[in-house]
């Protein structure tokens, strides 16, 4: 399908499943309002040149490659398995999981060579094949489409290669993770034949996605500091450019405002307290444009 010159982009999103909710939340955080419910096959944005196609995740890479959709959101595991010719535009930071090989608990395992000649059940035959080739291991790959974790228990395979996130599915099926084949998260993919008009719309969307993600990774912090400690405190919270310092009515004290990274939150708060900061307030940030 030729989408060149269009002043609108079509994004493919998983219709239902693990990536649907987070993907729709991300679009909402980008200020995108939809014209109808999500039970339809497609939906148009009311305030952005965007149309959403709701599809099964396995179909998304190929539909984007063919230009049925211009961009799409899919797990990297599905993308790599599909071998579709698309570009990864942005890693989105949700839907994190790993594709791992697991064997029945207690079975002897002394490295990847232990898989030589074994039967491995998986939905991800391409990814597994490539992994085994790189490891120079020859094993029998059994393609099954669902409930991979029960394959060893019913004698269908010696090992499995499947998606793991918390590990509880493996645990409940008496399996033990022995190799990580790939790590995965949701990615925004794009057709490699987009018009300048479409690229511009995607850039606008990306700007919003990044601002929302950045906001989540940071917190706004306000605190009171004795003036003789200001230098030390400002060093701990340098912020986007530099912190804001406002004098308090009480002599010898100032209010300091800045931004800190969520990841280093506790470490920084402890150091701020040690440096004499008081009345520390930490506030979520809605959007962050640098």
Residue 39 CB coordination number (10 Å) = 9
Quick one: which segment of 161-169, 216-224, 259-267, 275-283 binds ligand PRT (CB under 6 A)?
161-169
Cβ-closest residue to ligand PRT? 75
User: What letter would DSSP give residue 34?
Assistant: B
Applying CB under 6 A, which of residues 39, 168, 251, 290 lies at the interface with ligand PRT? Answer: 168
**31, 209 in Cβ contact below 8 A?**
no
Count the residues of the shown chain that bind Zn ion, applying the rule CB under 5 A. 2
One of 163, 181, 259, 277 touching ligand PRT (CB under 6 A) = 163
Does position 58 interact with Zn ion (CB under 5 A)? The reply is yes
Cα torsion through 248, 253, 259, 264, rounded to 10: -150
The pattern of x and - marking residues 103 through 142 that bind ligand PRT according to CB under 6 A reads ----------------------------------------
Helix (H) or strand (E) holding 43: strand 42-44
Angle between helices 20-29 and 196-216 (to 10 degrees): 100
Nearer to Zn ion, 64 or 202 (CB): 64
Taking residues 77 to 106 in sequence order and writing x for each that binds ligand PRT by CB under 6 A, - otherwise, the string is xx----------------x-x---------
Q: Compute φ and ψ for 89, nearest 5 degrees.
A: -85, -40
Which residues have a Cβ under 8 Å from the Cβ of 126 and sit 6 or more positions away? Answer: 80, 81, 83
Site for ligand PRT, rule CB under 6 A: 14, 17-19, 56-58, 75, 77-78, 95, 97, 162-169, 184
Site for Zn ion, rule CB under 5 A: 57-58
């Amino acid at each position: 399908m030729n989408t060149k010159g269009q002043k609108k982009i079509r994004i493919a999103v998983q219709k239902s499943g693990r990536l649907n909710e987070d993907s729709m939340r991300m679009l909402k955080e980008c200020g995108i309002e939809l014209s109808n419910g999500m039970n339809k096959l497609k939906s148009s944005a009311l305030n952005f040149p965007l149309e959403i196609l709701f599809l099964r995740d396995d179909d998304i890479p190929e539909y984007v490659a063919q230009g049925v959709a211009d961009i799409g959101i899919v797990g990297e595991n599905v993308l790599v398995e599909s071998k579709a010719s698309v570009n990864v535009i942005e890693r989105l930071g949700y839907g994190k999981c790993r594709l791992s090989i697991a064997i029945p608990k207690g079975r002897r395992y002394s490295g990847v060579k232990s898989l030589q000649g074994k039967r491995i059940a998986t939905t991800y035959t391409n990814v597994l094949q490539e992994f085994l080739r790189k490891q120079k291991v020859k094993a029998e790959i059994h393609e099954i489409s669902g409930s991979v974790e029960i394959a060893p228990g019913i004698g269908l395979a010696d090992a499995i290669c499947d998606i793991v996130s918390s590990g509880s599915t493996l645990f409940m099926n008496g399996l033990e993770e022995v190799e990580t084949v790939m790590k995965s998260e949701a990615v925004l993919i794009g057709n490699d034949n987009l018009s300048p008009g479409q690229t511009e719309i995607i850039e606008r969307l990306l700007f919003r996605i990044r601002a929302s993600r950045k906001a989540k990774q940071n917190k706004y912090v306000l605190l009171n500091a004795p003036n003789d400690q200001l230098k030390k405190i400002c060093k701990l919270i340098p912020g986007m450019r530099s912190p804001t310092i406002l004098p308090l009515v009480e002599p010898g004290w100032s209010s300091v405002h800045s931004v800190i990274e969520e990841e280093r939150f506790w470490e920084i708060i402890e150091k701020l307290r040690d440096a004499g900061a008081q009345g520390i307030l930490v506030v979520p940030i809605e959007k962050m444009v640098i």
